[in-house]
A and B are shown apart, each in its own frame.
Chain A
């Protein structure tokens, strides 16, 4: 799955996802990616976020919407991302998931749920302070 958020220099935001979903899914199954608030979410007055992982879990917690609301409340993007992961951990400690967050001034962050086989999450960043796209990694919590 790719989840992407874009913030324009004028403050406009957009988010999107594209995926071929879960391997060996039951025919007809849809994951979190096409569901606003689960796979991704954007609001010019707060920020944007996108998620990847176990879609059936993410569908039940709407991490992208919740992360945007945390940023609306003043949380830094990395804190907002960590808080949505922590919320899900309480119910499903072994879920596979990661979230990226960006606010309307261009700050960004990411978070992921630590598993024995998943301890770091890689994501891509491109902004006007960099002259190329950059891969960044975050340690899972």
Chain B
């Protein structure tokens, strides 16, 4: 018998899978299913890698990226560096439905979200603030600077461009398996 419909998602985020499946069973579209699955993880802060209160940036702020794509119309809605709005996938869906654009970013994406009725609220938590202060205490390691002074492997910023430019080399690039997209 047919293996469809199908819900497939990265990492063992079971509740997200089941939220998407329930949406399909109740007659929702594939976009509705993707949105409800991703929104479940945003609410549950899956693994600390989705949603508010995780992965603080250098300034201690949590910002969100999300995207939704319709394989029938090839329409896409996406937000990058979305600030102070929790439901990023919901905002991405609004970009898809209410604009002819594809990707809105940063503070402007926040303003768009507010115009669509989303609540502007702080995405930091005690946990993300603790993660950030630990990072500051460890001389801001790891960080993602290069060819700057002071030496970013030993010091926090602010940084200035160094005179010597070492070429980028993907071959030796390693990522912390616990700090990623």
Is there an interface contact between A123 and B8, defined as CB atoms closer than 8 Å?
Answer: yes
Question: Is A2's CB under 8 angstroms from B37's CB?
Answer: yes
Q: Report the Cα distance A7→B5, complex, angstroms.
A: 6
Whether the pair A124, B62 counts as a contact (CB closer than 8 A) is: no
Closest Cβ of chain A to B59, distance in Å, is 5
| B17 adjacent to A17 (CB under 8 Å) | no
Whether A31 touches B10, Cβ cut-off 8 Å, given contacts A124-B16, A126-B18, is no
Closest to A117 in B: B177
Bound-state CA distance A100–B176 (Å) is 20
Given A93-B171, A108-B8, are A129 and B3 also a contact pair (CB < 8 Å)?
yes
- A20 in contact with B64 given A4-B7, A4-B9 (CB within 8 Å): yes
Identify which of B69, B106, B131, B172 gathers the most chain A CB atoms within 10 Å of its CB. B69
Partner of A54, one of B70, B135, B181: B181
Residues in B neighbouring A56, C-beta threshold 8 A: 173
Give min CB distance, A127 to chain B, whole Å: 4
Interface residues of A in 37-89 (CB under 8 A from B): 39-44, 48, 50-58, 60
> How long is the Cα–Cα vector from A21 to B160 in the complex, in angstroms?
25
Q: How many A-B residue pairs have CB under 8 A?
A: 316
State whether B38 touches A16 (Cβ < 8 A).
yes
> A26 contacts B88, CB within 8 Å?
no
- In the bound assembly, the distance between CA atoms of A34 and B46 in angstroms comes to 18
In the assembly, what is the distance between CA of A99 and CA of B55, in Å? 21
Residue-wise interface mask of B (81-103) relative to A, using a CB-CB cutoff of 8 A (1 in contact, 0 not): 10000001100100000000011
B67 at the interface (CB under 8 A from A): yes
Q: In the complex, are the beta carbons of A2 and B58 less than 8 A apart?
A: no
- The B interface, classified by DSSP as helix, strand, loop or mixed, is mixed
A95 and B6 contact, CB distance less than 8 A: no
Contact pick for B42, options A18, A33, A50, CB 8 Å? A18
Q: Are B66 and A9 in contact (CB under 8 A)?
A: no
Report A-chain residues with C-beta under 8 Å of the C-beta of B178. Answer: 23
Residues of chain A within 8 A of B14, CB atoms compared: 124, 133, 135
Contact status B52-A20, CB under 8 Å: yes
CB-based contact A106/B6 at 8 Å = yes
Contact status B59-A27, CB under 8 Å: yes
Minimum CB–CB distance for A133 against chain B, Å? 4
User: Contact at B8–A21, with CB atoms within 8 Å?
Assistant: no
Please, what's the 1-or-0 string for B5-28, where 1 marks a CB less than 8 Å from any CB in chain A?
111111111101110110010000
- On B, residues with C-beta under 8 Å from A are 1-14, 16-18, 20-21, 24, 29-31, 33-35, 37-39, 41-42, 46, 48-52, 54-59, 61-72, 74, 76, 78-81, 88-89, 92, 102-103, 105-106, 123, 131-132, 135, 140, 142-145, 170-181
20 pairs, CB–CB < 8 Å, chain A vs chain B: A2-B11, A4-B8, A7-B30, A8-B30, A12-B72, A16-B37, A16-B68, A17-B67, A18-B38, A20-B62, A23-B131, A33-B67, A34-B78, A51-B10, A54-B175, A57-B175, A95-B170, A125-B17, A128-B3, A133-B7
